[in-house]
Amino acid sequence: MAVEVGSIVEGKVTGVKKFGAFVVLPGGETGMVHISEVSTQFIQELSDVLQEGQTVKVKVLSVSPEGRIALSMKRAEPRPKPTRADPGRVWQPRTPVQHDGPMSFEDMMSQFKSRSEEKISDLKRVTEARRGGGYSRRR
């Protein structure tokens, strides 16, 4: 059975070295899984993760003209979807404060001033976050 690039098969680990593991595929051919293709996590010692005789699922990455087969264990598994820790906040306008009676001119001006300052500070915070910091003056 010829090995096809992109196919996912199960094989048996026949040897574990510092740089990778050798895996016998169902057709009797041997391929190698490089240490960087074993897991998405950092691996100090490959022998801590794989042992000889262990059955693993691998994806065929490439087959060289010399017959060398490059395999990957981490690409054989479905890639987990990244989840955001913070789903993000959506801006919501603040609810206006209701007063019982008619407001004096000074109260209306005070309320207008505080709302304006809040809006400006929110706008500055959003634009600075998009720019990657505060304003910079280049001369």
- The ranges assigned to domains in the chain are 8-72, 94-133
Alpha-carbon radius of gyration of the chain: 30
pLDDT in tens, the chain (139 residues): 578 899 999 999 999 999 999 999 998 999 999 999 999 888 889 989 999 999 999 999 999 999 899 999 999 888 766 666 666 667 677 676 666 778 888 888 988 998 899 899 888 888 877 766 555 555 5
Chain-centroid distance of CA 133 in Å reads 24
Question: How many helices (H) and strands (E) in the chain?
Answer: 1, 5
The fold of the 8-72 domain, in CATH, is OB fold (Dihydrolipoamide Acetyltransferase, E2P) (2.40.50)
Token pair for 136: 């910079």
